[in-house]
């Protein structure tokens, strides 16, 4: 079962409620559903340095901290906080250690560390996974995503220990996927 962040809690509740309804003779519940109040990944600071209200993009301390600590532009820091919450710290620390804090593409907030983070921590295994579903650059600017696909494949290949044939296949898959993300007027 798949879902997006805005609906996953309700989907989980509906699925469990249905299971309980179908198997009420075998399964008993002690309390009502609690998923509504569970925190999602990135909503708390595992380092203990920031309070939840400080993650806010508007007026929060975390974006400013990222600009100072990692020398990021404010729009990039705000994007990382919006996308990763407190885990933006993990993305930036990985970027610092691996030398990947530079932009993935010009004039966009994405950084190269996100590619490696997506592979290591978000199960990103293909270009559609990483540039489409994790970072979302393919939706924002498919032409730029196509331009940096080769570099992205190289970053992923290093992480996933791909052989030459796997790299070649990933590049073909990237090209095919990114072609579907662009609109070309048939009259042109």
pLDDT in tens, 98-141: 999 999 999 999 999 999 999 999 999 999 999 999 999 999 99
R_g of the chain computed on alpha carbons: 20
Are 71 and 158 part of one and the same domain? yes
Are 1 and 60 part of one and the same domain? no
* CATH code, domain with 64: 1.10.8.870
Are 52 and 141 part of one and the same domain? yes
Q: Which of 84-88, 144-148, 180-184 has the highest mean pLDDT?
A: 144-148
φ, ψ of residue 103 in degrees (nearest 5): -60, 145
- Its pTM stands at 0.76
Are 78 and 112 part of one and the same domain? yes
Average pLDDT over residues 157-168: 97
In whole angstroms, give the CA distance from residue 81 to residue 31.
34
Are 60 and 34 part of one and the same domain? no
Domain that holds residue 144: 41-180
Contact yes or no for 137/104 (Cβ under 8 A): yes
Are 82 and 123 part of one and the same domain? yes
């Amino acid at each position: 079962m798949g879902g997006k962040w805005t609906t996953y809690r309700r989907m989980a509740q509906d699925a469990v409620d249905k299971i309980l309804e179908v198997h009420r003779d075998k399964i008993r519940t002690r309390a009502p559903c609690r998923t509504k109040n569970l925190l999602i990944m990135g909503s708390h600071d595992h380092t203990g340095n920031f309070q939840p209200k400080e993650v806010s993009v508007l007026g929060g301390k975390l974006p400013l901290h990222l600009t100072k600590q990692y020398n990021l532009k404010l729009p990039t820091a705000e994007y990382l906080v919006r996308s990763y919450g407190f885990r933006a710290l993990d993305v930036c620390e990985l970027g610092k250690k691996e030398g990947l804090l530079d932009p993935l593409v010009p004039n966009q907030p994405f950084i190269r560390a996100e590619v490696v983070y997506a592979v290591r921590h978000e199960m990103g295994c293909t270009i559609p996974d990483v540039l489409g579903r994790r970072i979302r650059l393919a939706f924002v600017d498919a032409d730029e995503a196509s331009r940096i696909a080769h570099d992205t494949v190289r970053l992923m290949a290093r992480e996933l220990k791909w052989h030459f044939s796997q790299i070649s296949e990933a590049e073909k898959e990237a090209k095919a996927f990114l072609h579907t993300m662009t609109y070309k007027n048939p009259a042109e």
